[in-house]
Amino acid sequence: DAGITQSPRHKVTETGTPVTLRCHQTENHRYMYWYRQDPGHGLRLIHYSYGVKDTDKGEVSDGYSVSRSKTEDFLLTLESATSSQTSVYFCAISEEGTANQPQHFGDGTRLSIL
Amino acid sequence: DAKTTQPPSMDCAEGRAANLPCNHSTISGNEYVYWYRQIHSQGPQYIIHGLKNNETNEMASLIITEDRKSSTLILPHATLRDTAVYYCIVRVYSGYSTLTFGKGTMLLVSP
């Protein structure tokens, strides 16, 4: 299995508080991704990174920011959490961003915002 | 990216082959076919992918029709641990390419 660790695995917090989720990889892959999964919507891309300090928006980026200061770590921040951001968040990695490179996923963070 | 159509659910007896179909009739020549699965409350797991040739790895086989409009994922000897939602995805080749997950097929493997 790909060496991907997401932390925390579960979090409950209140509306308006800042939240940071961490994705750590040991594969030295260039690309890292954050997805959210909600019933009826499948997985949707939030942000992705194609290198240290290189990031771009995905399909549902509003309300989220990311940072990548090291190859192995990709952080997802909710500056002021809202109940609509209650979801399961998955991090993924790939060697490159092309279609011939599979993405490998972590086990997810279950986030509840009350 | 091309859309895919999969049956919402399938059943399979343990030890038998599970054949999961996927229709991607609008696929372009530069799009890959990918299969992932997701076991309840876990992250999606990559299974296999291909462009136009059939592919096989330690988990499964991927059969792509000659016109590339459909494909079949084959789990040769299904076990109870193969019970999961299986997703068929097509991805364009050129440049950066993300994954778009649809609803998938819920495969239930029974004793």
pLDDT digits (tens, 9 = 90+) for B23-58: 999 988 888 999 999 998 899 999 999 999 899 999
B102 and A42 within 8 Å at the Cβ level: the answer is yes
Asked if B95 reaches chain A (Cβ–Cβ under 8 Å), the answer is yes
**Hey, is the C-beta of B8 within 8 angstroms of any chain A C-beta?**
no
A73-100 mean pLDDT: 92
In Å, the largest CA–CA distance within chain A is 41
B99 to A98: CB separation less than 8 angstroms, yes or no: no
List Cβ<8 Å contacts ≥24 apart for A64-67: A64/A34, A66/A34
Distance separating alpha carbons of residues B35 and A102, to the nearest angstrom:
10
Q: Does B97 touch chain A (CB under 8 A)?
A: yes
Question: Two tokens at B13?
Answer: 């007896």
Smallest CA–CA distance from B31 into chain A, residue: A99
Q: Tell whether B93 lies on the interface with A, counting CB pairs under 8 A.
A: yes
* A96 or A113, which is more confident: A113
The answer to whether A48 and A34 have CB atoms below 8 angstroms apart is yes
**A38, A37, A35: which is closest to A47 by C-alpha?**
A35
Query: Which range is least confidently modeled, A49-58, B9-18, B94-103?
Result: B94-103
* Chain B hits for A107, Cβ within 8 Å: 42-43
Of B14 and A43, the one with more pLDDT? B14
Looking at chain B, the whole-number percentage of residues with pLDDT higher than 90 is 75
Among the residue ranges A40-49, B40-49, B81-90, the one predicted with the least confidence is A40-49
Backbone angles phi, psi at A99, to 5 degrees: -70, -15
Beta bridge partners of B13: B110
A45: which chain B residues are within 8 Å (Cβ-Cβ)?
98-99
